[in-house]
Amino acid sequence: MAFVPWAELLVQLIADHVVLAFILSGPILIIILLVEVIMQIVSAFTPQMQVYALQFGFRSLAAIAALLVFLAFTENEIFYLLEKQSNILSTLLEGFK
């Protein structure tokens, strides 16, 4: 196996990992940001309420709920991307035999 195709496959594998990381984390980070903004608005209107203490629990619950909903709708796409990465990795490893 020549160096150039091997390097191209490795770059493609790394790029696919970055894309998969953004696909998985992007919606969850947006939900966490929205919860943060909502909690800051509530804090501005009710200064006597300890929003800071409640903020961590609400963020965690919202992120877990969003992750469950997100994974339920994108299961096939995630498996497709993982299978594609597995095929690329198998091709890379065949070059070392």
pTM of the model: 0.69
Question: What DSSP element (H or E) covers 94?
Answer: helix 51-94
**How far, CA to CA in Å, does 61 sit from each of 15, 28, 37, 65?**
31, 11, 15, 6
pLDDT digit string (tens) for 19-61? 888 888 888 999 999 999 998 898 888 888 788 888 888 889 9
pLDDT for residue 47: 80
**Domain span including residue 68:** 3-94
Write out pLDDT tens, residues 55-97.
888 889 998 999 899 888 888 888 888 888 888 888 877 766 6
| Angle (deg, nearest 10), helices 51-94 and 3-45 | 170
For residues 42 and 51, the answer to whether their CB atoms sit within 8 Å is: yes
Task: Report the pLDDT value the prediction gives residue 37, as an integer from 0 to 100.
Answer: 92
**How many domains, in total, are found in the chain?**
1
Answer whether residue 2 shows pLDDT above 60.
no
Other CB atoms within 10 A of residue 31 CB? 19
For tokens 């940001």, name the residue: 33
